[in-house]
Amino acid sequence: MRVTATTDAPPATDADTIVVGVFEDEGIAHDHGGALQALVDSGEAKRGLRKLAVTHAEGRRYLVAGLGGRGDFDPERARVVAAAVVGRAKELGTKTLCWEVPHHVSDAHVAGLVEGTLLAAYTYREFKEPETDGIEALVLSAHHDVGAASTAAATVASFVNRARDLQNKPANVLTPTALAERASELEGVRVEVLDGDGIRAAGMGAFAAVAQGSYEDPRLITIRYEGEGATGPLLGYVGKAVTFDSGGISIKPAAKMHEMKFDMSGGAAVLEALGAIAALKLPVRVAGVIGATENLPSGRSMKPGDIVRSKSGVSIEINNTDAEGRLVLADCLTHAIELGAERLIDLATLTGAMVVALGKTHAGLLASNDDWAAAVESAGARAGELNWRLPLHAEYDEQIKGRYADIVNSPADRGAGGITAAQFLKRFTGDVPWAHLDIAGTAYDNKKPYTPNGGAGYGVRTLVELARGA
């Protein structure tokens, strides 16, 4: 979708549908032809958030969109109302949509309108007939120049949608090799890829153990970005990209196994966030590390009871082959530290326990450093991707102590499963400030108005905001 900004009034644009928002206890700021206020006064157009009414005036189609109370209208509400508008506009056959930007709102609100529009308009149709009723262009009409804000938001939203494309692809198409090929297409970054032989040669015994059951070769994908004028710490973004997770020998129930193509969502978020950061030319340094593999049962799969040695030298007893993501991340975190990362964050669809704990509204946040945790939490809030901090504690280390190895990958005690998984990862982060986002509940089918079904691209916007604040 093309996105442009103008200081011209909406009727001066070529839009076939114009959106005018109305706050509670406020009137229509610019009534085009007098019909809009009349629609509000009659009660047909309501001021409540996401309430929509359609009318025509001066040869144009107008959508009056309720914005709720002005004091409650934040960038997330802008995304929500924009998504509602997209649904109605598509029903009306809109090709060019113009938002009259409400008076006295910030650039963050403008970004919310753009992101909500582009994310809600997204469809994945690689294996279906092309969409014929899509919105082709979005225009932002404001009294002042909002071009920079709208362009940046459109850039970020486009990379979120690319992450959703990766998530939504079937596992027979999005293999570890295909994910590495997508990384190689990014502009403004340097990409290095290790295959299975390279991963084993690098001593990544935990990662290699997960990969050995599949005939698809794994990939360790490293993406480096050096922004001009960067002076801050090297950020290490680490993503789990299990492109299909059957559970291995500890096989999952069949009922929802088709959803396990989404187990690469953390890796997709890291990959496309690096693309967005480079496109925005942010003055930061980032090293992205993505561990891509399948987890399948075969005659050569890792087995419950096996012991593997990680790149850091820690020995790990495999109690459950379906606790594979933390094995991949263990070696990827070590690799990121070896690259010089001074701040670490990993994203992973890691535990069903986190879905039970937080549902689909918040990702679980666990961190070794309070300041870094606050930075991640703040970045998520600005991005509209909520997270909730859970505790780490030395007592949880007792649950992951191994009988035959240093640690186990899956404790016998199932309590606090999301926390013990993070406690496992913490073992591989040393003294580097580290945060873990368990996005198992938020990565797909999260029911947000602008990302209701399929891959949500969760994490891309948080990682971009984190880079902006670095």
Q: Any idea which residues carry the catalytic annotation? A: 252, 326
Please provide residue 451's backbone torsions phi and psi, each rounded to the nearest 5 degrees: -140, 60
3-state secondary structure the chain: CEEEEECCCHHHCCCCEEEEEEECCCCCCCCCCCHHHHHHHCCCCCCCCCCEEEEEECCEEEEEEEEECHHHCCHHHHHHHHHHHHHHHHHCCCCEEEEECCCCCCHHHHHHHHHHHHHHCCCCCCCCCCCCCCCCEEEEECCCCCHHHHHHHHHHHHHHHHHHHHHHCCCCCCCHHHHHHHHHCCCCCEEEEECHHHHHHCCCHHHHHHHCCCCCCCEEEEEEEECCCCCCCEEEEEEEEEEEECCCCCCCCCCCHHHHHHHHHHHHHHHHHHHHHHHHCCCCEEEEEEEEEEECCCCCCCCCCCEEECCCCCEEECCCCCCCHHHHHHHHHHHHHHCCCCEEEEEECCCHHHHHHHCCCCEEEEECCHHHHHHHHHHHHHHCCCEEECCCCHHHHHHHECCCCCEECCCCCCCCHHHHHHHHHHCCCCCCCEEEEECCCCCECCCECCECCCECCCCHHHHHHHHHCC
Q: Is 281 annotated as a binding residue?
A: no
Return d(Cα 89, Cα 61) in angstroms, integer.
10
Return d(Cα 226, Cα 221) in angstroms, integer.
17
Q: Is 31 exposed, middle or buried (0-12, 13-18, 19+ CB in 10 A)?
A: middle
Return d(Cα 288, Cα 339) in angstroms, integer.
10
Q: Is 322 annotated as a binding residue?
A: yes
Return d(Cα 32, Cα 30) in angstroms, integer.
6
The residue assigned the tokens 């309430």 is 51
Return d(Cα 84, Cα 133) in angstroms, integer.
16
β partners of residue 308: 316
Q: Is 445 annotated as a binding residue?
A: no
Q: Is 398:335 a contact under the CB 8 Å cutoff?
A: no
Q: Is 240 annotated as a binding residue?
A: yes
Residues of each annotated binding site: 240, 245, 263, 322, 324
Residues of each annotated binding site for Mn(2+): 240, 245, 263, 322, 324
